[in-house]
Chains A and B, each alone.
Chain A
Amino acid sequence: MAADRTPSATARDIERVFRAEHGRLVATLIRRFGDIDLAEESVGDALVAAVQTWPGRGVPPNPGAWLTTTAANRAIDRIRRESTRDSRHREALAMAPTHHDPVAERAARAEEVGVIEDDRLRLIFTCCHPALAAEARVALTLRLLGGLTAAEIAQAFLVPEATMAQRLTRAKRKIKTAGIPYRVPQAADLPGRLAGVLAVLYLIFNEGYLSTSDRDPVRDDLCAEAIRLTRVIRSLLPEEPEVAGLLALMLLNQARRPARVAGGMLVTLDEQDRTAWDRSLIAEGHDLVRECLRRNRPGHYQLLAAINAVHTDARTAAATDWGQIVALYDQLRAAHPSPIVELNRAVAVAELDGPAVGLELIERLDLDGYHAWHVARADLLRRLDRPGEAADAYDRAVALTDNQAERAFLLGRRAELRDG
């Protein structure tokens, strides 16, 4: 048995625990020591210690507390080694529990349980601060809250590792030099800032979702990570309907994932094997949508989730309530108008009123650079028995996408056209 081939069960257990705890650990240490780099490095030290001692003794009963205490001690060691005269660090030494004081350790654990949730909330609002560039917010959230390495994030977003590492370094430096505070925003600022956080999580989810390559498990992980982080936000802000809406949207999309790709080719919604959909995710998503309807504070993600719920509610494609979908798009375009919304609405209208009506709506839109517009147009032209124009549209769509599964689907459709 090759010792270096498959990771041992224990190493996998440790990795799983660590990914689950990473955000909490970093968040707590940032609050205690006031320094992101120190927090990150100390958490890294704690992992090394865990990898060294847990295989022999097993995972401790409260791994989170073990890791927090270890990381805090490593942070103190680092501070002492660097013998900084910064008074903030001296105060931190006074605040942190000592190695062998059980009273102080118990107090620290109690304090942790009380503030842990707030710490992760502080961390995510900091990572998603509007003063940071959008791509920096995504990278920082995945690194600090998700525990992904710079290499993993780089792979997920198809940039060189050095670029991603630099992006992270610059973001952390800006937090320090510009003085981005480590706290949950004031009530007045919360809606806007929360929208920023949700946008980052949605970006992460879409990045993972749109990858249909099964040779790229890291990108699968992105969806799971986005869902996990959204669940964390939901547990911390249970009264915010847009958070519930975003979670529902992600779950309902994730539920359909198993049916989305077959034989390396994308399968459209109308042709998906609905028995392959994840029923428990759908049930959870529907519950969330119902909860949002009860709250009656509609919003962008809630509407998108509701639209998805109409799809996932239908036993077969033919049973889809397109009238309801168009009505929801009407609400969406009233509150959040955009050409993309118009496009998606037009696709739904085509199901209700026929492809000719849908095509007329689509052709009014200026979306020549957007591949989904060409895909929708191609499909409607195909259904209107205009194969020459449909072929051109399929060609344009193929040229505009790198996604292999999608290209396979589009080329397949093009090949089926009667030669026009």
Chain B
Amino acid sequence: MKQYMLSVHHESPDEVANFSDEDMQRMFKQVDEFNAKVREAGAWVFAGGLEGIESATVVDGRGSQAIITDGPFSETKEYLGGFWIIQAPDLDAAIEWARQGSAACEGRVEVRPFDQA
């Protein structure tokens, strides 16, 4: 069994801002159903949706003085919306979960393995 992070990426904050209440309800329902399937299959490790980027804070503790800034890490419009951590026997299985998750949350999903070492 390998662990993978399936992270959801949105093109820009506007994309989410333009979702109607109907859109949101539909996606919540789809994601709930997907999550149930993941749990049932024993693939669930952890998952969560993230609050919007306006709630983000960046901390740089590399120097003697910590630097704290409002806003997301990335300079680009694209941002992380949430993620699943699953366990799967191989990449094909992880990709299949990602396909379903991507359809459920109506966003693109990046599949990345955890460092197993």
Chain A residues in the interface with B (C-beta under 8 A): 129, 131, 177-181, 185, 189
Contact = CB atoms under 8 A, between A and B. Distances in A.
A181 B90 CA distance: 6
A129 B91 CA distance: 10
Of A177, A179, A185, most buried by chain B (CB within 10 Å of CB) is A179
Interface residues of B, number: 11
A179 B91 CA distance: 5
A189 B96 CA distance: 10
A185 B92 CA distance: 9
A178 B2 CA distance: 9
A179 B90 contact: yes
A181 B91 CA distance: 7
A180 B113 contact: no
B95 interface: yes
A41 B18 CA distance: 55
A179 B95 contact: no
6 contacts: A178-B91, A178-B111, A179-B88, A179-B94, A180-B90, A181-B90
Contacts of B111: 178
Interface string B92-110: 1011000000000000000
A178 B113 contact: yes
A178 B93 CA distance: 11
Nearest to B94: A179
Contacts of B88: 179
Given A179-B94, A180-B92, A181-B92, 19 more contacts: A129-B91, A131-B91, A131-B95, A177-B113, A177-B116, A178-B91, A178-B111, A178-B113, A179-B88, A179-B89, A179-B90, A179-B91, A179-B113, A180-B91, A181-B89, A181-B90, A181-B91, A185-B92, A189-B92
Nearest to B2: A179
Contacts of B113: 177-179
Interface string B1-38: 01000000000000000000000000000000000000
Contacts of B91: 129, 131, 178-181
A171 to B, nearest CB: 13
B69 to A, nearest CB: 33
A180 B93 CA distance: 10
A185 B91 CA distance: 12
Contacts of A177: 113, 116
A181 B93 CA distance: 9
A179 B87 CA distance: 12
Contacts of A181: 89-92
Nearest to A193: B92
Contacts of A180: 90-92
Contacts of B94: 179
Contacts of B2: 179
A179 B116 CA distance: 11
Instruction: Enumerate the 6 nearest inter-chain pairs by beta-carbon distance, A residue then B residue, closest first.
Output: A181-B90, A179-B90, A179-B91, A179-B2, A178-B91, A180-B91
Contacts of A189: 92
Contacts of B89: 179, 181
A178 B112 CA distance: 7
Of A177, A181, A185, most buried by chain B (CB within 10 Å of CB) is A177
Interface string B59-78: 00000000000000000000
A131 B110 CA distance: 11
